[in-house]
Structure 1
């Protein structure tokens, strides 16, 4: 197994976010399969490798660079064109293209489908984000009726639905870092998540949606949008409720009814098995074995399957039209 270098712009400050934590979790699990380290490329940090320094080394024949920060991918691909690279794809929709020499590991099937269409000649794999074992139902008394995290929440949620719910129940809106998320989720009866508006403004997709999954694991009832990667695991009517359903009054009625009547039991453990460390480590082992073999092969032989460029698509469309036309003429 080659050594993995996980590239992130920085590990704290302005770069701290859910995507960073998910990437560092994947790094931690990958270390149980092969050597792996974090490397920053924008922010120099004490005791952490910096990309420009690393590229000055002569002995980089046995490494793979793992890139993931969507908006930086085109520059990183150009900078690392001489090295084996994996794209760890969280969100979709960044509008860049990747050469077939770069395998793609996606965190959701939604994102896998996007890249399956956009890069049909690339190796593509599915590796969901890790849901830590600490996210589970503690079976405690729940003193929060409705929990909302302000970041990524829609204007409708914050300005209309929450004020209406505050007239009838205990609502907690979180707008800062939370040290003990499992503890917080175990205090809540209902969790609201509505990110479709946020991601539409970013012009990219919801990559996975960790927190609805984490709250489900804690036995909380979830009202959520089902955009992007959320559609991988949320199933309205069966394991969650669809939020922003038709009207404010209808949403409010459903939420208050759940608060009054719901039993706060986590879903069956089997539901979360796909996202726990044991399963993910096993998938990492299989995926990296495949990718290491691919890089051994591709070092000596260039790819030769035609790409779906605009020119080729135009040519295929003309050929298809011509064939139909000749079939009509000689029918």
Structure 2
């Protein structure tokens, strides 16, 4: 019954500024996926992010808030069963670029068995296990929306199933994708070059050399363990916040202009002192 004894979790980026204002008197945290929404948050709002990419964004944007890294989970159903794969190429239509859907896929369909998913990924775990390649290109999707790819779970799920992944490496995807080593960069130079590379890998196809240790960070056991540490930290913080005000100066435009002026004056003094 006491709202001061609970923690409110804000998630949908577009609504966070209004929610943060309404929850000003209470304990609220922001669960951040995408970045670049354009808003700032006061130091009283802790942030936990799903990727290091978003972690870095908020580390600069909200430097005096508590910030944590808590990645998304890969469901246990996504794992390499080492079975015969009937699908050559799998594509998830949602978030895919027009280049991928309208140019690369038609070119590949002339030489490969291509399966396009038009619904939510989680409905098709069986398909993700039976594919050889997974193609993902979300850079255009996020550029049109003006925000970032928060995590990019689908390529990692495909990797966990033993698939070769051709993907864009924008934003949160760069957390774990390493082109040339655990994946391949898609939309590289030309459609012909993409087709050539995919077919070349297909000729001697093997599962990528990635151990389960790579995915341990994103499995339930690790996430629950990290979440408990974060909750303990948040409880300490909210207890402290009840009796103490934040007193670290913020990066306001006026303060930044003042610091810039001081820096210029200091450099000029140093220059003419010589």
User: Normalised by the size of structure 1, how large is the TM-score?
Assistant: 0.81
Structure 2 CA distance for partners of 1:297 and 1:166, relative to 1, 3 Å: same
**Corresponding residue number in structure 1 for 2:75:** 132
What displacement does 1:179 show? 5.4
Equivalent of 2:242, from 277, 299, 304? 299
CA distance in 1, matches of 2:187, 2:195: 10
**Corresponding residue number in structure 2 for 1:175:** 118
CA distance in 2, matches of 1:242, 1:187: 22
Question: For each residue in 1:60-101, what CA deviation from the matched residue of structure 2 results, as whole angstroms up to 9, or x when unmatched?
Answer: 121000111000001100111110001010011001000000
Contact 2:121 2:154 in 1 (8 A): no
CA distance in 2, matches of 1:151, 1:61: 40
**Corresponding residue number in structure 1 for 2:205:** 262
Q: Are 2:173 and 1:230 aligned?
A: yes
Contact 1:217 1:266 in 2 (8 A): no
**Corresponding residue number in structure 1 for 2:252:** 309
CA distance in 1, matches of 2:221, 2:215: 11
CA distance in 2, matches of 1:61, 1:320: 43
What pairs with 1:62-211 in structure 2 (closer than 5 Å)? 62-177=5-120, 180-211=123-154
CA distance in 2, matches of 1:265, 1:138: 13
What displacement does 1:178 show? 5.0
**Corresponding residue number in structure 2 for 1:277:** 220
What displacement does 1:260 show? 2.0
* Partner SS for 2:65: coil
CA distance in 1, matches of 2:30, 2:87: 40
Q: Are 2:250 and 1:250 aligned?
A: no
Question: For each residue in 1:150-197, what CA deviation from the matched residue of structure 2 results, as whole angstroms up to 9, or x when unmatched?
Answer: 111111111111111111111111112355432111111100000011
* Partner SS for 1:138: coil
What displacement does 1:261 show? 1.1
Q: Are 2:155 and 1:212 aligned?
A: yes
CA distance in 2, matches of 1:102, 1:174: 38
Question: For each residue in 1:21-58, what CA deviation from the matched residue of structure 2 results, as whole angstroms up to 9, or x when unmatched?
Answer: xxxxxxxxxxxxxxxxxxxxxxxxxxxxxxxxxxxxx5
The gaps in structure 2 that reach 5 residues or longer are none
Contact 1:194 1:225 in 2 (8 A): yes
Equivalent of 2:2, from 45, 55, 59? 59
What displacement does 1:266 show? 6.7
Contact 1:137 1:266 in 2 (8 A): no
Task: Tell me the C-alpha RMSD between the 2 structures.
Answer: 1.1
Structure 2 CA distance for partners of 1:276 and 1:179, relative to 1, 3 Å: closer
CA distance in 2, matches of 1:112, 1:265: 28
Contact 2:182 2:209 in 1 (8 A): no
What displacement does 1:275 show? 0.4
Q: How many residues align?
A: 274
User: Normalised by the size of structure 2, how large is the TM-score?
Assistant: 0.97
CA distance in 1, matches of 2:120, 2:49: 27
